[in-house]
Structure formats: structure tokens, C-alpha cells
Amino acid sequence: MQSQPFLNDDNSLLGHIALRFRSAQSDADRRQIAKEYGQVVEHLIQGRQWNEMPPSEDQLPDEYMPTGFVEFWSRQ
């Protein structure tokens, strides 16, 4: 995962990654960015303190969203 020194929480990091996704020029870039997004989601799920779903603008399109995201928020 690329370091994001100025983002001090994972939810903010998701928003930052979503911004990068929307500026990505190729599908390879989008896949790489989605992988980073998935790692942050996994970290949030493992932390067991994820109590606020990111807004839609901080999410990726369905095709790129990690399955863990939907599973986690569906069982809340």
C-alpha cells in the first residue's frame, strides 16, 4: 500500500483512494488502486471499530469494491 502521510485515519484514506481512482487513466491503474482500497477495507474490518460507512463519493464502483465491504455492511 502506498503511504499517505497526511491522512490519519482509514476512512479518510478510502476517500483519498476513491479520488485517485476517478483520475486513473487506465484499467490497470484502476485495478491497482482497487487493490489498495481492498487492503484498507480489510484493515478497517479487522479493527472491529468501523462504525461509519464511507459516503458514496468515497467508494469505488461496484465492480471494483471488495466483497468484504458488502458482507460487512450487510450484516450490521
Partner 1 sequence: MPYPACHDIRVFTFRGDRSPRFSAMFLRKLLDERSGAGPGPTSHECLLHAGHTGVSTDGGAAIWAFNPDGAGLKICDLLDRLKRGEAFPGIVRDDRTVFAAAHLQGLSVQTFDVRYPNFSFDRFKAKLDSERERSNYSYGFPNGDGDCNCTTWLERLGLPLLTGRINEFVALTGFIAYPTRRFGKCS
Q: Can residue 55 be called a binding residue for partner 1 (CB under 8 A)?
A: yes
Length of the chain: 76
**Helix 67-74 to helix 27-47 angle, to the nearest 10 degrees?**
40
Q: Residues 5-44: x/- map of binding to partner 1 (CB under 8 A)?
A: -xx----x---x-xxxxxx-x-------------------
How many residues make contact with partner 1 (CB under 8 A)? 28
As a whole number of angstroms, the distance between CA 27 and CA 25 comes to 7
Contact 15, 58 (CB under 8 A): yes
Positions that interact with partner 1 (CB under 8 A): 4, 6-7, 12, 16, 18-23, 25, 51-57, 59-62, 70, 73-76
